Amino acid sequence: MARVVRTDRELELPRVDAALRAAGHQLTLLRDGAKEEELAAALREAELLLMCYTPVTARVIASAPRLKGIVKYGVGIDAIDIEAASERGIAVANVPEYAEQTVAEGAFALLLALAKKLYPVQRALQAEGWAWPVESWRGLDLAGKTLGLVGVGRIGSSVARMAQGFGMRVLGFDPYAVIPDGVKKKENLKEMLAECDFVSIHCVLNAETRHLIGAAELRAMKRSAFLVNVSRGAIVDEAALLRALLEQRIAGAALDVFSQEPLAKLGHPLRALYAMDNVVLSPHLTFYTQEAMARLEAETLERCLEVLEGHPLTVKSRDPRLRAQKKGVRFVD
């Protein structure tokens, strides 16, 4: 029997939890937003940590002398101090492929909602019973518009295919990816932004991309342009984005991710977004479909069993932070 800790219990993984318990392991579930001290205390005897959003700091890792592996049941690894884990020989892996198409569909759904003004029209319909075709409800065609992708990996490439199906021109900024056919590569981010009617963010969060979209980049966008972010909140300077929206320097935004989650109507620095008709808000759920969650649970359980049975932890991600690990892992392309 091993001790296993899973954070962020609000994101339910019933198959994973049941399988671990059925195998005789002691599973502790911690709430979303668990404090560093709470997580450190729970990990003192644990061999495996499953996490999604809760930060795993160097202090937390130092408090877990028996810890063998950390499995992120999701994609982003910015909340894990991977260097501290590697120094201790603790293997780290994520589940990078379970929702690539799913998130791309979610991003494009948000883009459509912005273009067609679906949310403000729906709110008006609910309040008044009907909405007549006045100018304030006039939407946009996507055909002939220009979409700029910030990050053209698997998710960005899927969004590009969808956009091309709608007759959109697609530009891509990504210094590291191979740009797919039909997407025009742009070497300068601001120059690309200046051409776009819609901008969709699909890069990972790291030191290089934090606040990649800042005040200067937002100023480079057309006043008629929209921003979509389903990647990580901190890729955008959110204070600058809020100012740009309040000052009507861009036409609107659709956001599924935020630096400080959960978003809240009281006390949150972005609370003003709730009142904006040109903003679509989603609670970090573009990944959340039946099919994607089935894939996530199946692969998460595979990674758990590798750690608990003493096998190398499989790393499928190409993220250099994970690929730099030297112990307890095996890499799969």
Are residues 299 and 170 located together in one domain of the fold? no
Are residues 45 and 163 located together in one domain of the fold? no
pLDDT, residue 121, reads 96
C-alpha to C-alpha distance for 125 and 30, rounded to whole angstroms: 41
The tokens for 190 are 């601001």
Give me the active site residues, please: 232, 261, 284
Q: What is the CATH number of the domain that holds 175?
A: 3.40.50.720
Exposure of 126 by Cβ count < 10 A (0-12 exposed, 13-18 middle, 19+ buried)? Answer: exposed
Q: What is the pLDDT of residues 151-200, one digit of tens each?
A: 999 999 999 999 999 999 999 999 999 999 999 999 999 999 999 999 99
Task: Give the rounded percent of residues in the chain with a pLDDT score beyond 90.
Answer: 99
pLDDT, residue 129, reads 97
pLDDT, residue 228, reads 99
Cα angle for residues 227, 111, 149 (degrees, 5° grid):
55
Cα angle for residues 114, 119, 121 (degrees, 5° grid):
105
pLDDT, residue 285, reads 97
**Whether 168 contacts 144, CB under 8 Å:** yes
Are residues 44 and 69 located together in one domain of the fold? yes
Are residues 40 and 152 located together in one domain of the fold? no
C-alpha to C-alpha distance for 46 and 4, rounded to whole angstroms: 5
Enumerate residue ranges in the chain where pLDDT < 70.
none
Number of domains in the chain: 2
The residue among 293, 318, 95, 316 whose CA lies nearest residue 203 is: 318
Are residues 304 and 231 located together in one domain of the fold? no
Are residues 227 and 154 located together in one domain of the fold? yes
In one letter, which amino acid is 37?
A: E
Helices (H), the chain: 14-22, 36-42, 58-62, 82-87, 100-116, 118-128, 154-165, 189-195, 215-220, 238-246, 290-308, 320-323
Is the pTM higher than 0.85? The answer reads: yes
211: which residues sit within 8 A by CB, 6+ positions away?
Answer: 234, 235, 236, 237
Are residues 207 and 140 located together in one domain of the fold? yes
Token pair 């006043």 is found at: 223
Identify the domain containing residue 199 by its residue range: 100-281
pLDDT, residue 333, reads 86
CA dist list (Å): 188 to 46, 94, 194, 279, 328? 47, 31, 10, 27, 39
CA dist list (Å): 131 to 18, 66, 122, 134, 222? 48, 61, 9, 8, 28
C-alpha to C-alpha distance for 175 and 161, rounded to whole angstroms: 20
**Whether 22 contacts 322, CB under 8 Å:** no
15: helix, strand or coil: helix
Are residues 79 and 126 located together in one domain of the fold? no
Are residues 109 and 24 located together in one domain of the fold? no
**Whether 280 contacts 19, CB under 8 Å:** no
**Whether 176 contacts 196, CB under 8 Å:** no
Are residues 49 and 197 located together in one domain of the fold? no
Are residues 242 and 307 located together in one domain of the fold? no
The residue among 190, 211, 202, 191 whose CA lies nearest residue 231 is: 202
Are residues 117 and 17 located together in one domain of the fold? no
pLDDT, residue 8, reads 97
C-alpha to C-alpha distance for 176 and 34, rounded to whole angstroms: 35
